[in-house]
Amino acid sequence: MAKLLLELLSEEIPARMQARAAQDLQRLVTDGLAAAGLVYAGTRGLAGPRRVAVVVDGLPRIRPDVTEEKRGPRVGAPDNAIKGFLKGAGLASLDQAEKRATDKGEFWFAVSHKKGGPTAEILPQILLDAIKALPWPKSMKWGSGSFAWVRPLHAILALFDGKPLVGQLDLGGDMRPLRFGNRTRGHRFLSSGEITVDEVAGYIRQLRAARVIVDPVERAAVIRAKVETLCIQNGVRLRHDEALLDEVTGLVEWPVPLIGSIDAAFMDLPPEVLVTSMRTHQRYFATLDIDGAMAPKFVVVANMITTDGGTEIIAGNERVLRARLADARFFWDQDRKVELEDRLPALQQIVFHARLGTQFERAERIALLAREIVAQEKSGFFKDVDLNQVEQAARLCKADLTSGMVGEFPELQGVMGRYYARHEGLPAAVADAIAEHYAPQGPNDVCPKAPLSVAVALADRIDSLVGFWAVDEKPTGSRDPFGLRRAALGSIRLVTENSLRLDFDRLFEAAERGHKKKADRRDLMAFFADRLKVQVREQGVRHDLVDAVFALGGEDDLVRLLARVKALQAFISTEDGRNLLVAYNRAANIVRAEEKKEKGLAGKLAGGVDTALLQAVEEKAVAAALESADARALPALESEEFTAAMTALAELRAPIDVFFDRVTVNADDADLRLNRLKLLNRIRATVDRVADFSRIEG
Residue 686 is classified by DSSP as: H
Do 352 and 491 lie in a common domain? yes
* Residue 558 placed within a domain: no
d(CA 571, CA 641): 13
Q: Is the dihedral of CA 25, 29, 34, 40 positive or negative?
A: negative
Please report, as a single letter, which amino acid is at residue 490: G
Do 651 and 688 lie in a common domain? yes
Alpha-carbon 271 to chain mean position:
30
Residues in Cβ contact with 113 at an 8 Å cutoff, skipping those fewer than 6 apart: 65, 66, 67
Do 684 and 666 lie in a common domain? yes
CA end-to-end span of the chain:
46
Are 471 and 356 within 8 A, CB to CB? yes
* Residue 426 placed within a domain: yes
Rg (alpha carbons) of the chain, rounded to whole number: 34
Closest by Cα among 454, 403, 411 to 429: 454
pLDDT of residue 35: 86
* Residue 530 placed within a domain: yes
DSSP SS3 for 41: coil
- The CA-atom distances, in angstroms, between 521 and each of 140, 189, 277, 459, 473 are 45, 61, 43, 16, 14
Do 288 and 419 lie in a common domain? no
What is the pTM (predicted TM-score) of this model? 0.82
Do 139 and 254 lie in a common domain? no
User: Which domain covers residue 94, as residue numbers?
Assistant: 66-114
Final residue of a domain: which of 335, 366, 400?
335
* Residue 548 placed within a domain: no
Are 576 and 645 within 8 A, CB to CB? no
Do 518 and 612 lie in a common domain? no
Do 191 and 56 lie in a common domain? yes
Do 302 and 351 lie in a common domain? no
Task: Read off the CATH number of the domain in which 513 is found.
Answer: 1.10.3210
| CB neighbours of residue 428 within 10 Å | 12
Residue ranges for the chain with pLDDT beneath 70: 698
Final residue of a domain: which of 209, 243, 261?
209
Q: What is the DSSP string of 334-346?
A: HHTTS-HHHHGGG
Please report, as a single letter, which amino acid is at residue 370: A
d(CA 194, CA 157): 12
Residues in Cβ contact with 283 at an 8 Å cutoff, skipping those fewer than 6 apart: 244, 247, 248, 251, 300, 301
Q: What is the DSSP string of 252-280?
A: -SS-EEEEEE--GGGTTS-HHHHHHIIII
d(CA 175, CA 575): 72
Do 320 and 431 lie in a common domain? no
Domain tally, the chain:
5
46: left (phi over 0), alpha (psi -120 to 50) or beta: beta
Do 153 and 239 lie in a common domain? no
Q: Is the dihedral of CA 691, 693, 695, 698 positive or negative?
A: positive
**294-302 and 285-288: which strand pairing?**
antiparallel
Alpha-carbon 589 to chain mean position:
38
d(CA 511, CA 498): 21
- The CA-atom distances, in angstroms, between 698 and each of 563, 576, 577, 645 are 21, 13, 11, 21
Do 295 and 414 lie in a common domain? no
